[in-house]
């Protein structure tokens, strides 16, 4: 489950504390439209469940699996099945065309 950074990470149905991590997400070009409304242009801070992969994050943001072309985690090329850690910075780029 994804929460905006400022939302509570409490599990409302059970009242117990969820185990979460905070990420800094950057979505570029056409992918930026998948960020939450309160986002700053192409980036935001999100709170997500511990152990989430980049693939799971993108699924929850509604990004089709074939949309990302280049992924970075903390400035290093990343794969969809990498497990993220608290404080990670994730950048996602779509295919870029040009001349």
Domain presence at residue 99: no
* DSSP track, 22-79: EEEEEE-GGGGGGS-TT-BTTEEEEEEETT-BHHHHHHHTT--TTS--EEEETTEE--
Q: What is the pLDDT, as a whole number, of residue 98?
A: 65
User: For the chain, how many structural domains are there in total?
Assistant: 1
The pLDDT averaged over each successive group of 10 residues in the chain (99 residues) is: 43 58 95 89 92 94 92 97 97 83
CATH number, domain at 66?
Answer: 3.10.20.30
Give the DSSP letter of residue 18. Answer: P
Q: What is the pLDDT, as a whole number, of residue 25?
A: 96
Domain presence at residue 98: no
Q: How far apart are CA 25 and CA 27, in angstroms?
A: 7
Domain presence at residue 59: yes
Domain presence at residue 69: yes
What is the residue range of 17's domain? 3-93
């Amino acid at each position: 489950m994804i929460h905006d950074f400022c939302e509570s990470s409490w599990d409302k149905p059970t009242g117990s504390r969820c185990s979460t991590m905070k990420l800094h997400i950057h979505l570029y070009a056409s992918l930026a439209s998948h960020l939450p409304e309160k986002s700053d242009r192409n980036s935001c801070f999100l709170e997500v469940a511990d152990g989430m992969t980049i693939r799971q994050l993108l699924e929850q943001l509604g990004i089709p699996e074939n949309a990302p072309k280049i992924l970075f985690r903390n400035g290093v090329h990343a794969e969809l099945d990498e497990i993220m850690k608290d404080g990670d910075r994730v950048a996602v780029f779509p295919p870029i065309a040009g001349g």
